[in-house]
Amino acid sequence: MSRFTIHDLAATIDARAASGGEASYTRKLLDKGAEHCAKKFGEEAVETVIAAVENDRAHLIAEGADLLYHFLVLLKVRGVKLEEVEAALDKRTSTSGLEEKASRK
């Protein structure tokens, strides 16, 4: 079984962003701008929370996939690379979560 990663998804989004808009949902989202992409991400976040609260595993998995996709589209429209988010996460792992959170104040 091949393993599909979030980096594969980011590469797919990059490729579709470079393609024509009519055949690509990703391209259509990007063409509608950052505010639209942010709203779609928010909708997916709410649907993910609902699936979690309802304890519906299959629905949570499906909504989680949608959430990750729309997050990557939002990053793309704002010119943020997944690697930048990963670097921020990597930096945070050098301290405990409680220490990191306290340092933000």
Q: For the residues of 19-76, what is the DSSP string, one character each?
A: S-STT-HHHHHHHT-HHHHHHHHHHHHHHHHHHHHTT-HHHHHHHHHHHHHHHHHHHH
- The answer to whether position 69 is within a domain reads yes
**Mutual angle of helices 82-92 and 6-17, in 10-degree steps:** 150
- The answer to whether position 96 is within a domain reads no
Contact status, residue 47 vs residue 63, Cβ threshold 8 Å: yes
- The answer to whether position 68 is within a domain reads yes
- What range defines the domain where residue 47 resides? 6-79
Percent share of the chain, pLDDT over 70: 95
**Secondary structure element (H or E) that encloses residue 85, with its range:** helix 82-92
- The answer to whether position 67 is within a domain reads yes
CATH at residue 64: 1.10.287.1080
53 contacts: CB under 8 Å, gap ≥ 6? none
pLDDT in tens, the chain (105 residues): 679 999 999 999 999 999 876 778 999 999 999 999 999 999 999 999 999 999 999 999 999 999 999 999 999 999 999 999 999 999 888 877 677 677 776
Instruction: Compute CA 49 distance to the chain's CA centroid, rounded to the nearest angstrom.
Output: 15
Give the chain's domain count.
Answer: 1
Q: 48-64 pLDDT, tens per residue?
A: 999 999 999 999 999 99
